Amino acid sequence: MSTFQAPKGTYDLIPPDSAKFLAVREAISAPLRDSGYGYIETPGFENVELFARGVGESTDIVTKEMYTLTTKGGDQLALRPEGTASVLRAALEANLHKAGNLPVKLWYSGSYYRYERPQKGRYRHFSQVGAEAIGTEDPVLDAELIILADQAYRSLGLRQFRILLNSLGDKECRPVYRDALQTFLRDLDLDEETRRRIEINPLRVLDDKRADVQKQLTDAPRLRDYLCDACKAYHEEVRALLTAAGVVYEDDEKLVRGLDYYTRTTFEFVHDGLGSQSAVGGGGRYDGLSEMIGGPALPSVGWALGVDRTVLALEAEGVELDLPVTTSVYAVPLGDEARRALFAVVTGLRRAGVAADFAFGGRGLKGAMKSANRSGARYTLVAGERDLAEGVVQLKDMESGEQTAVALADVVAELTTRLG
Ligand code: HAM
């Protein structure tokens, strides 16, 4: 007999750990929901051209990492490697930007797919919660998003993360810098692939992790020296707003993101307990993306936080989440009649909003009590024939061990009161 395994680079979320993922998604989205961001859901796949144009033909994501497929009807599709291009596409398609209420603020949560070399923290199927604020150029909006991500991580109890901040300039100043950088890089001693990268995406060369490459980059022209006055002023304002909000960040000139659409503000949240896959989240401004995918000029900013890596960061810091109780009451029937009576009680409890579970399968008292313990329930209800004959059930407080007989008719009310 053969058994199947999850595909390479993927893993299943199973209880009890899966509860952490739900809690992380909840914690990241809560500050967004409280700040005017509306929920958006887009398909898991899109026309491949959207990502080629949006994310960029020269990025690893598009050239190496996309899961592409041709449908029976001949459409070229790709499983989404990221959310920004899809969300902007959907906003344009629904004309949200024309409703006279800019910025259009949206948040999302879902699965993304990249054919990467799997390792701890890097998967082929992963989960993000993201936010996009579309159609407004305002440094307050950039600051808002960074502050909300910081708030989300803090609410989870994370402390050992850092915020790296940079400005990539705009369509005026970045090309001038790009030329200067290319001229500099062409004179270095680099391998073929890196030489090709100089021509396609020279900023990515700055990001090269190899020591011999980094050594040669010490005197590389710096983007900071090429930013135009408007970009400089914008960036200073973002920095000042973060400082005013008490959010600590580090200026990181070398921060180059793996997607081509960024302009001006870019940032990354890195966690020091994660080894090489340290980015728990990232984002920035993408003022040109709308036009790149055929829309009007819509300056925008956003981020996506990786749920998988956030969970790893929690584990690295030893943070135990305060997870909601899954079962408050566990019912253990002894015999057929008790099974019907206690199942009715459980149904009543559930209807009253009390989380309740039941010992199924007519098991003996010992096994059923083990399950009751494992469920984490605060109270257990046990009833046998003699109890029913007296019209009662035994209510056991699992913390104190105290047991009392409660009239069958009163038990839902009694438990609702006790559990507050
Ligand atoms: P990104 O930096 O490619 O940005 O991804 C954001 C986060 O998703 C990363 O920081 C990381 O935590 C997580 N992530 C990415 N790839 C993987 C992987 N293979 N395995 C596990 N986690 C991963 C974006 O996706 C942009 N769309 C963010 C954005 C939104 N920019 C503007 N708006």
Residue 199 located in a structural domain: no
Residue 250 located in a structural domain: yes
CB 280 less than 6 A from any atom of ligand 1? yes
Beta strands across the sheet bearing 68-70: 45-47, 76-79, 68-70
CB 92 less than 6 A from any atom of ligand 1? no
Q: How many structural domains is the chain composed of?
A: 2
Residue 209 located in a structural domain: no
DSSP category for residue 155: H
Q: Tens digit of pLDDT for each residue in 22-42?
A: 999 999 999 999 999 999 999
Residue 295 pLDDT exceeds 80? yes
Cis peptide before 16 (omega within 30 of 0): yes
CB 103 less than 6 A from any atom of ligand 1? no
Lowest pLDDT segment from 125-129, 217-221, 279-283 = 217-221
Q: How far is the CA of 335 from the centre of ligand 1 (A)?
A: 54
Residue 217 pLDDT exceeds 90? yes
Q: Given pLDDT bands bounded at 50, 70 and 90, which one contains residue 1?
A: low
| Best mutation site among 61, 128, 261 for ligand 1 pocket (most ligand atoms within 8 Å of CB) | 128
Residue 2 pLDDT exceeds 80? no
Q: Given pLDDT bands bounded at 50, 70 and 90, which one contains residue 58?
A: confident
Range of the domain at 375: 329-418
Q: Tens digit of pLDDT for each residue in 233-269?
A: 999 999 999 999 999 999 998 898 888 899 999 999 9
Q: Which atom of ligand 1 has the smallest separation from the CA of 303?
A: 30
**Could you give the CA distance from residue 194 to residue 224 in angstroms, rounded to a whole number?**
23
CATH code (residue 281)? 3.30.930.10
CB 263 less than 6 A from any atom of ligand 1? no
CB 289 less than 6 A from any atom of ligand 1? no
Whether 381 and 405 map to the same domain: the answer is: yes
Q: How far is the CA of 257 from the centre of ligand 1 (A)?
A: 10
Residue 229 pLDDT exceeds 80? yes
Residue 145 pLDDT exceeds 80? yes
Residue 392 pLDDT exceeds 70? yes
Task: Please state the pTM of the whole predicted model.
Answer: 0.94
Residue 204 located in a structural domain: no
Number of CB atoms found within 10 A of residue 1's CB: 2
CB 128 less than 6 A from any atom of ligand 1? yes
The residue nearest atom 1 of ligand 1, judged by CA position, is: 282
Contacts of 382 (CB under 8 A, 6+ apart): 331, 332, 333, 334, 365, 393, 394, 396
Residue 349 located in a structural domain: yes
- For residue 312, what are its two tokens? 């790893």
Whether 123 and 37 map to the same domain: the answer is: yes
Whether 271 and 410 map to the same domain: the answer is: no
Q: What SS3 state is found at 331?
A: strand
Whether 87 and 149 map to the same domain: the answer is: yes
Q: Tens digit of pLDDT for each residue in 324-372?
A: 788 999 999 999 999 999 999 999 999 999 999 999 998 899 999 999 9
Residue 307 Rama label (left phi>0; alpha psi -120 to 50; beta) = alpha
The residue nearest atom 30 of ligand 1, judged by CA position, is: 303
Whether 362 and 281 map to the same domain: the answer is: no
Whether 60 and 145 map to the same domain: the answer is: yes
**Could you give the CA distance from residue 280 to residue 306 in angstroms, rounded to a whole number?**
5
Total H helices, total E strands in the chain? 16, 16
The residue type at 67: Y
pLDDT reported for residue 176: 95
Number of CB atoms found within 10 A of residue 127's CB: 20
Whether 284 and 375 map to the same domain: the answer is: no
- Of the residues 270, 290, 317, the one at which a domain ends: 317
Residue 264 located in a structural domain: yes
**Could you give the CA distance from residue 168 to residue 234 in angstroms, rounded to a whole number?**
12
- Give the mean pLDDT of the chain: 95
